[in-house]
Chains A and B, each alone.
Chain A
Amino acid sequence: MRQAFTRTAAIVALTVAVACASLSVKQQALAAHQTAHSAIVAIDDFERTVCKPNPPPADNTCSAVPRVLTDDQHQRVSAAIVRAYEADIRVGRAIILWQPGQPAPAALPALQAAVQEVETIVHELAPGSARVDELFARAQALVERVRTLILRFAGGGARP
């Protein structure tokens, strides 16, 4: 019984692996980009809950009590997120035009630099708060997902 279950599980795993491998390189790039984009959105949303930005036009200041982020940190994180979105948009446009065998989108290094900057700023925050820990975890996840996106092009971009 147990051997039969193991064999069935192995067959299902192999079938799923083959099905995933059969997806086009461009679709795999799309999936990796969507995952990275979702990670930017996740840290964007969470930073807003931590800071509670005042309504525009004063939304460059935080209203959260107690203060987790200073206004300066909120502005710096925002600037890095702006750069991440700008690069994210350029990567998206490049993927639309991209075909297997072509070089990786030129905006990928800018995206990586922007998300690493987000991580660096968050790393400077005073540790010990669950919200800061959560923010840092999301920043690390973002960096990891962008790295996966870059590897997707490095590993599959040169092959049709």
Chain B
Amino acid sequence: MTPTTSIETYINLGLAITSAGGQLIGKLKGVLDLIRPDHGLTDEQINELEQQTIAEAQKRLAERQSMARPTDPAASGQ
């Protein structure tokens, strides 16, 4: 192994360790964001999410109501 190769090896190793360390810190930050005590929602945020759910349910309800109609025998020729 020439001295140049050895230096490149150490540089590459250093870069790999830095990259892995950065990824690990990023993952740990994600976990901490998930489990931190203030992850809870306020009543206002809960109500806002419920309003969004209700709005979607109302839209889908309107679509489904026409599908629930019994077939008109006269219209279908039965």
A88-B57, A93-B54, A96-B47 given; A79·B41 CB < 8 A: no
- CB-CB nearest in chain A for B43: A26
A48 to chain B, nearest CB (A): 9
Question: Which residues between 24 and 79 of chain A lie within 8 Å of chain B, taking CB atoms?
Answer: 24, 26-27, 30, 33-34, 37, 40-41, 44, 53, 56-57, 59-61, 71-72, 74-75, 78-79
- CB-CB nearest in chain A for B51: A96
Q: Are A60 and B50 in contact (CB under 8 A)?
A: no
Q: Are B67 and A22 in contact (CB under 8 A)?
A: no
Residues of A within 8 A of B49 (CB): 30, 34
Residues of A in contact, count (CB < 8 Å): 38
Task: Determine whether A137 belongs to the interface, using a CB cutoff of 8 Å to chain B.
Answer: no
Q: Which of A11-19, A124-132, A146-154 contacts B (4 or more CB under 8 A)?
A: A11-19
- CB-CB nearest in chain A for B70: A75
- CB-CB nearest in chain A for B39: A19
Residues of A within 8 A of B46 (CB): 26-27, 30, 95-96
Question: Which residues between 70 and 127 of chain A lie within 8 Å of chain B, taking CB atoms?
Answer: 71-72, 74-75, 78-79, 81-82, 85-86, 88-89, 92-93, 95-96
Q: Are B57 and A22 in contact (CB under 8 A)?
A: no
Residues of A within 8 A of B47 (CB): 96
Q: For chain A, what secondary structure do more than half of its interface residues adopt (helix, strand, loop), or is it mixed?
A: helix
- Taken together as a complex, chains A and B put the C-alpha atoms of A19 and B71 apart, in Å, by 52
Query: Other than the known A19-B37, A60-B71, what 9 A-B pairs have Cβ atoms closer than 8 Å?
Result: A19-B39, A56-B66, A60-B66, A61-B71, A72-B70, A75-B68, A75-B71, A82-B68, A88-B53
Interface positions of B (Cβ within 8 A of A): 31, 34-37, 39-41, 43, 46-47, 49-51, 53-54, 56-58, 60-61, 64-71
Of the A-B pairs whose beta carbons lie under 8 Å apart in the complex, a sample of 13, sorted by A's number, is A12-B31, A27-B40, A34-B49, A40-B57, A41-B56, A41-B60, A75-B67, A85-B64, A86-B61, A88-B57, A92-B57, A93-B54, A96-B47
Q: Which 7 A-B pairs have the closest CB atoms?
A: A78-B67, A78-B68, A85-B61, A19-B35, A79-B68, A92-B54, A60-B69
Interface positions of A (Cβ within 8 A of B): 12, 15-16, 19, 22-24, 26-27, 30, 33-34, 37, 40-41, 44, 53, 56-57, 59-61, 71-72, 74-75, 78-79, 81-82, 85-86, 88-89, 92-93, 95-96
